[in-house]
Amino acid sequence: MTRLPSKPDTSSRYREAEQFLAALDPDWQALVAHVGPCIHQPRPERDPYEALIRSVVYQQLHTRAAERILQRLIDIYPHGHCPTPEEVLATPYDTLRACGLSGAKANSILGLAQARLDGIIPDQATALQMPDEELIKRLTTLRGIGRWTVEMMMMMYTLEHEDILPADDFGVREGYRNLKQLDKAPSARVLREIGQAWAPYRSVASWYLWRMPKQAPALAPSSNKVNRAPRSQDKPVRQQTPSSPLYFAIAQCSLGTLLVAESERGICAISLADDAKVLLEQLQEQFKAAELIEADPQFNQRVAQVVAMVEEPTLGLDLPLDIQGTPFQQRVWEFLRHIPVGQTLSYTEIAERLGMPKGARAVARACATNTLAIAIPCHRVVRQSGDLAGYRWGLERKKTLLERERPQKAQR
């Protein structure tokens, strides 16, 4: 990876990059014209240690959810900014967890603090002098830090490298897939080869590709967006007998252990529990004919979106869903997807609105068989008295979700 010579005017460098990319082919020209001028904003004032702390907090979370956790971490310390390594190491583990950090993230942050004291994490001046691959190799030995984190958080933003292509990033690869209208996104290795043509402006090229899926006018709208009106692209009903493999991944979130499974048609299961083994057994029981395959690291990008939805339900889930059930279950679940965040309805109210005034129990059974936690928000259904009823993933989780959503209602 090369670096551009230092130039004082960032906007002029971006203009050069825009002109270069637009001249590549008509697809790039249309993307640059649609998105407009590049406004990539590096953060060179952040030390590499601080950048890595932030990267760990933000992993698998949407920006707003991560910002809240980061602010709770900062608020522990009287000075109101990123804690020093010494301060982190002096902070009780339970105090770090109370900020909303998972156990893995808390341990990663403690490890980063020790690594800074040990000289493994360089200061900014030293990092700027290090060859790219040497810096990547050194920092990816740290717990919770992968190549994507070093390229994105460190090199593109903190160190202002302008020729970085984070080819492992799901958004970049999906952006290129849509740019070229491919059936399948290229692998990271293939994209690195393709991206050679974008040098020495690969950071700016990545910036544009991130904006391709949602902003490019030629893109088809994504289907099954949670909390959105149904679209014509929504997939037809299919019963729970997939013959193809199911890919799954397990992650941690504030509600415990989270399992996400995906069929060839989309996300087909989102489950919560305290024990990963239990979740796997439930998944196999649910999809008896399916071969369960642990997903590759690329699937983690989609898992991250699910975790973000769990932590911040207002975000919705912009991923295809493979919703499987009977026609009646489908009717109930589709209705649930339109209950706004911060509101609840009773089983009786839903039955009446579906034209089944005596169907409250049937609605309750449909809620109990929902396999897509939060994406199909059955936690927003309560008894007619307002009391909480059963919840497949535990009443405490239902209570937590409703309390988490309640402030959103007050802000409307």
Instruction: For the chain of 412 residues, list the mean pLDDT of each consecutive stretch of 10.
Output: 44 82 88 85 76 83 76 92 94 92 91 94 86 87 82 66 80 86 86 87 88 52 38 38 73 90 90 87 82 78 86 80 88 91 91 88 88 93 85 88 71 42
pLDDT score at 157: 59
Cα four-point dihedral sign 185, 187, 188, 193: negative
pLDDT score at 110: 95
Annotated active-site residue in 94, 123, 163, 169 = 169
pLDDT score at 156: 66
pLDDT score at 111: 94
Distance CA 243, CA 290 (A): 6
Distances (CA, A) of 60 to 49, 172, 358: 19, 16, 42
pLDDT score at 411: 44
Distance CA 367, CA 389 (A): 11
Structure tokens at 100: 């909303």
pLDDT score at 35: 84
Active site annotation includes 94: no
pLDDT score at 344: 92
How many C-beta neighbours within 10 Å does residue 30 have?
15
| pTM beyond cutoff 0.75 | no
